[in-house]
């Protein structure tokens, strides 16, 4: 056991005591290892100042780094897009579900809808970022409305507003938002007293590539191009026809097609009310059926056929078959190589045929009543479309009387004579004289529509 005992401790060596005054410089030198002072020598005042500045500088750097870290953390928290599910591009619609939720039409919005949440599909005519928000000009056919994407806590993020302001023009979007009253009436949209505060917006279909021309250029009134200082880009006819789908989106073209459909509808409704039967005659025929008009010849299996110039023969056959009154709305083909407004190689014809009981005025009366029905219908039911066309192609309002003005042939010649044109009694009217007579009748009787009766026999 004695062999395992630790060795005896050596006596402590004592060091002579050092005076207290000599310890201070030693402590300073140890605290600042970067001191350039020789060991055992106190730093100078300049050195102490330099050390103090360095310490202050290090302290500020540490505080700055801490602040930047704090700001970065706050920024990271702010960059979390809480509205990510409220915007973006929708996947391809493959008819996987049907919510049945009502989608409104812009044209049907009224002030009674203020405060209501609505859902609708529209085209983005223009998108415009401004500061932290975005303005959208949304269009449905003839109608348009302004939409505002404004950041709002828990509803619309700044990322959503930025994204909406960059949506490509003519994209189709699905919008959900709240109807509200704008600060002042909006002049650039058809709906001026309501705007949409967007809550959700998704792109259904976007546009690849550059648009062939500006939508505004395609819709601009013709009279603006005639001004001396006009600096607009005019969309020429060839450009329109080469990009027909895009051109047809303009309000003017939308209105023209609506008016065309309205004319045929009003034509049909009136004649149906008068006992007429709608017939459908063949458009491929074995021979030309009308003299005085050129005909298109086409191959027909091993033979040949002709495109119908008119349903005249079919109408007469129907009358002979005791149909009494018939009408047809259908294509007419005429191989007339002409460049006037009165000649077309293909057009939609509105034809009618009826039995005459006693006098041809029976037919005149039906035609007159049918035309008045069309004029009144357009005036009352389609005033919006007529006004839309007039904005791009200005013209005077069409005038007609409740009871149609009927002029005899000699009365018409007398009016022309008063206007400075003296025609022989049995000479037909040229196009120029017809236009002049219409102008003189409007000035004298206040109507664009009148009947000139009792033309001389051919």
Task: Give pLDDT, residue 55.
Answer: 86
Task: Give pLDDT, residue 231.
Answer: 81
Rounded (5°) CA angle 350-352-356: 160
Q: How confident is the model at residue 15 (pLDDT cuts 50, 70, 90)?
A: very low
Average pLDDT of the segment spanning 321-348: 90
Q: How confident is the model at residue 354 (pLDDT cuts 50, 70, 90)?
A: very high
SS3 call for 207: coil
pLDDT at 22 > cutoff 70: no
- The answer to whether the CB of 106 falls within 8 A of the CB of 152 is no
Q: Alpha-carbon distance 235 to 252, whole Å?
A: 14
Average pLDDT, the chain: 88
Q: Alpha-carbon distance 266 to 376, whole Å?
A: 10
pLDDT at 24 > cutoff 60: no
Q: What's the pLDDT tens digit per position in 289-317?
A: 776 568 999 999 999 999 999 999 999 99
* Closest of 321, 293, 319, 318 to residue 307, by C-alpha: 293
Q: How confident is the model at residue 189 (pLDDT cuts 50, 70, 90)?
A: very high
**H or E element, residue 326:** strand 325-333
Which residues, at least 6 apart from 273, have a Cβ–Cβ distance to it below 8 Å? none
Average pLDDT of the segment spanning 15-38: 44
Q: Cα separations (Å) of 62 from 8, 55, 58, 67?
A: 53, 11, 6, 9
Average pLDDT of the segment spanning 260-281: 98
Three-state SS string over 85-125 comes to: HHEEECCCCCCCCCCCCCCCCHHHCCHHHCCCEEEEEEEEE
Pairing of strands 172-180, 284-285: unpaired
Q: What's the pLDDT tens digit per position in 399-410?
A: 999 999 999 999
Task: Give pLDDT, residue 227.
Answer: 79
Pairing of strands 297-300, 172-180: unpaired
Q: How confident is the model at residue 343 (pLDDT cuts 50, 70, 90)?
A: confident
Q: How confident is the model at residue 240 (pLDDT cuts 50, 70, 90)?
A: very high
267 burial type by CB count under 10 A (0-12 exposed, 13-18 middle, 19+ buried): buried
Q: What's the pLDDT tens digit per position in 63-119?
A: 888 888 777 766 665 678 999 999 999 999 999 999 999 999 999 999 999 999 999
Task: Give pLDDT, residue 20.
Answer: 43
* Closest of 429, 402, 406 to residue 417, by C-alpha: 429
- With left for phi above 0 and alpha for psi between -120 and 50, is residue 446 left, alpha or beta? left
pLDDT at 238 > cutoff 90: yes
SS3 call for 301: coil
Q: How confident is the model at residue 36 (pLDDT cuts 50, 70, 90)?
A: low
Which residues, at least 6 apart from 251, have a Cβ–Cβ distance to it below 8 Å? 141, 142, 219, 388
- The answer to whether the CB of 329 falls within 8 A of the CB of 264 is yes
- Selected residue with higher pLDDT from 8 and 60: 60
Average pLDDT of the segment spanning 330-359: 90
Task: Give pLDDT, residue 100.
Answer: 92
Q: Alpha-carbon distance 23 to 43, whole Å?
A: 14
Q: Alpha-carbon distance 175 to 137, whole Å?
A: 12
Q: CA end-to-end span of the chain, whole Å?
A: 157
Q: By mean pLDDT, which of 120-134, 138-152, 174-188, 208-222 is the weakest?
A: 208-222
Both tokens of 9, joined, read: 């401790």
Both tokens of 192, joined, read: 């001026």
CA 416 to chain centre: 47
- Selected residue with higher pLDDT from 431 and 42: 431
Q: How confident is the model at residue 329 (pLDDT cuts 50, 70, 90)?
A: very high
pTM passes above 0.85: no
- The answer to whether the CB of 415 falls within 8 A of the CB of 407 is yes
């Amino acid at each position: 056991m004695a062999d395992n005992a630790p060795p005896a401790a050596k006596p402590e060596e004592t060091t002579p005591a050092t005076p207290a005054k000599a310890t201070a410089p030693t402590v300073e030198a140890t605290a600042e290892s970067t001191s350039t002072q020789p060991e055992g020598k106190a730093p100078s005042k300049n050195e102490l100042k330099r050390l103090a500045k360095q310490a202050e500088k290090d302290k500020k750097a540490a505080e700055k780094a801490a602040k930047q870290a704090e700001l970065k953390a706050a920024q990271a928290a702010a960059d979390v897009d809480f509205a990510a599910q409220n915007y973006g591009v929708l996947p391809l619609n493959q008819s996987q579900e049907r919510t049945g939720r009502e989608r409104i039409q812009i044209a049907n919005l009224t002030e009674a809808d203020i405060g209501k949440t609505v859902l609708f599909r529209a085209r983005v005519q223009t998108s415009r970022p401004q500061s932290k928000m975005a303005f959208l000009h949304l269009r449905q056919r003839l109608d348009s409305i302004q939409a505002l994407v404004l950041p709002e806590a828990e509803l619309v993020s700044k990322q959503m507003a930025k994204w909406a302001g960059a949506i490509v023009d003519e994209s189709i979007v699905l919008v959900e938002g709240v109807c509200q009253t704008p600060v002042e009436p909006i002049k650039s949209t058809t709906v001026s007293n309501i705007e949409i505060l967007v809550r959700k917006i998704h792109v259904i279909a976007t546009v690849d590539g550059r648009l062939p021309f500006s939508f505004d250029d395609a819709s601009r009134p013709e009279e603006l191009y005639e001004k001396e200082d006009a600096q607009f880009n005019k969309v020429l006819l060839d450009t329109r026809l080469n990009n027909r789908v895009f051109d047809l989106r303009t309000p003017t073209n939308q209105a023209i097609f609506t008016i065309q459909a309205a004319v045929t509808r009003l034509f049909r409704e009136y004649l149906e009310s008068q006992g007429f039967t709608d017939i459908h005659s063949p458009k491929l025929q074995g021979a030309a059926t009308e003299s005085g008009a050129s005909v298109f010849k086409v191959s027909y299996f091993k033979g040949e056929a002709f495109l119908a110039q008119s349903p005249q023969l079919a109408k007469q056959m129907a009358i002979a078959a005791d149909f009494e009154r018939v009408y047809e709305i259908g294509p007419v083909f005429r191989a007339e190589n002409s460049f006037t407004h009165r000649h077309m190689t293909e057009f939609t014809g509105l034809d009618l045929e009826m039995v005459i009981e006693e006098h041809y005025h029976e037919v005149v009366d039906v035609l007159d009543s049918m035309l008045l029905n069309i004029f009144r219908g357009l005036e009352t039911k389609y005033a919006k479309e007529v006004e839309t066309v007039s904005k791009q192609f200005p013209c005077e309002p069409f005038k007609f009387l409740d009871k149609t003005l009927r002029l005899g042939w000699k009365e018409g010649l007398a009016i022309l004579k008063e206007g400075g044109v003296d025609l022989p009694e049995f000479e037909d009217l040229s196009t120029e004289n017809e236009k002049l007579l219409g102008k003189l009748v409007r000035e004298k009787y206040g109507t664009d529509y009148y009947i000139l009766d009792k033309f001389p026999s051919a």
